[in-house]
Amino acid sequence: MSLIEARGICKTFNGRSGEHIPAVDQLSLAIEDEEFVVIVGPSGCGKSTFLQMVGGLERPTSGTLRIEGQPIDGPDSRCGIVFQEYLLFPWKTVQGNIAFGPSLRGLSKGEITSLCTHYIELVGLQNFASSYPHELSGGMKQRVAIARALANQPRVLLMDEPFGALDALTRESMQWELLRIWEDARCTVVFVTHSITEAVLLADRVIVMSKRPGRIKKDIAIGLPRPRTRQLSASAEFLKYESMLKQLVWEEV
Ligand SMILES: Nc1ncnc2c1ncn2[C@@H]1O[C@H](COP(=O)(O)OP(=O)(O)OP(=O)(O)O)[C@@H](O)[C@H]1O
């Protein structure tokens, strides 16, 4: 049994004038435990919609979607979500933001503190535990958002263009950071991006979606060794994946 199984998923939205907007069409996909799956495709092809259905924030119009064999019927603590907008609580410190989920789960104070300490260290924010979001850079805010999601110890981390709002240099450093964090946290990641380079660097598998209504156009295993290195990211093999994927996405634009 796969960790996540989507079979024949369709999602149609109702537009403002009552028109039907088919966003996702007959999407079938199996994602295994601890896989790092990246979804790419042209703007509006239904990537975020698929992620939201996995996270239980949207329901498929038809088809079945299961996690650990059980139908997804609403937001589920097995899934943590990180969005492009950091969505931190501005009135809470870094520690307070990260402690929020564990405190809702009714953990003891000691357990919450040790979870917070672990994840604050994991994302490298030891010196900022008492800072408020407005005192942090974009990259630091996204580290908090990642730590906050991981502190709930999800089986699946859903990431929707998490580095899309960052400058190029910070974005690249966050990609390496995420790989390091993922090696430690060892959860399954489903990651949406527009950056093909980011996709090749991070993924075990890249799913290329067709233009709307999104179907799976190609499912490509990235056969690059881990841990990924800077040297590898400049290799001929890396560039080969990059140009193949660019071609596949461009055909849909
Ligand atoms: N709540 C909604 N109501 C109506 N239409 C929606 C809604 N959410 C998404 N859509 C439509 O569904 C389609 C897919 O949207 P979605 O955000 O999933 O695409 P995407 O591939 O993530 O796009 P992008 O890469 O630009 O973020 C789009 O045409 C969008 O306008």
Category of 87 on φ-ψ map: left (φ > 0), alpha (ψ -120 to 50) or beta: left
Quote the pLDDT of residue 86: 81
What pLDDT, in 10s, does the model give residues 179-219? Answer: 999 998 889 999 999 999 999 999 999 999 999 999 999 99
Report the alpha-carbon distance of residue 93 to residue 25 in Å, rounded. Answer: 42
What is the pLDDT confidence band of residue 77, given thresholds at 50, 70 and 90? confident
Burial 158-187 (b: 16+ CB within 10 A, else e): bbbbbbbbbeeebbbebbbbbbebbeebeb
What residue ranges do the domains of the chain occupy? 1-78+190-253
- Given ligand 1 and candidates 40, 48, 210, which is best to mutate, with the most ligand atoms within 8 Å of its CB? 48
pLDDT of the residue at 186: 87
Q: What is the pLDDT of residue 16?
A: 92
Give the amino acid at 204. D
DSSP string, 195-233: -HHHHHHH-SEEEEEPSSSB-EEEEEE----SS--HHHH
* pLDDT grade for 113, boundaries at 50, 70 and 90: very high
**Per-residue model confidence (pLDDT) at position 94:** 97
Task: Using most ligand atoms within 8 A of CB, pick from 9, 13, 196, 210 the residue to mutate for ligand 1.
Answer: 13
Distance 57 CA to ligand 1 centre (A): 13
Mean pLDDT, the chain, rounded, equals 95
- To which residue do tokens 């996690």 refer? 67
pTM, full prediction:
0.96
Whose CA is closest to atom 6 on ligand 1?
13
Q: What percent of the chain has pLDDT over 70?
A: 100
Strand order in the sheet with 156-160: 79-82, 156-160, 188-192, 36-40, 205-209, 216-221
Model confidence over 117-174: pLDDT tens digits?
999 999 999 999 999 999 999 999 999 999 999 999 999 999 999 999 999 999 999 9
Closest CA to 178 of 149, 155, 206, 207: 149
Q: Tell me, using a 6 A CB cutoff, whether residue 12 lines ligand 1.
A: no
Contact 194, 43 (CB under 8 A): yes
For the chain, give percent helix, strand, coil, nearest 5: 40, 25, 40
Q: Does domain 1-78+190-253 have CATH number 1.10.3720.10?
A: no
Q: pLDDT confidence of 237, banded at 50, 70, 90?
A: very high
Lowest mean pLDDT among 72-86, 184-198, 228-242: 72-86
Which is it for the CA torsion 163, 218, 57, 156, positive or negative? negative
Q: How confident is the model at residue 106 (pLDDT cuts 50, 70, 90)?
A: confident
pLDDT in tens, 18-68: 999 999 999 999 999 999 999 999 999 999 999 999 999 999 999 999 999
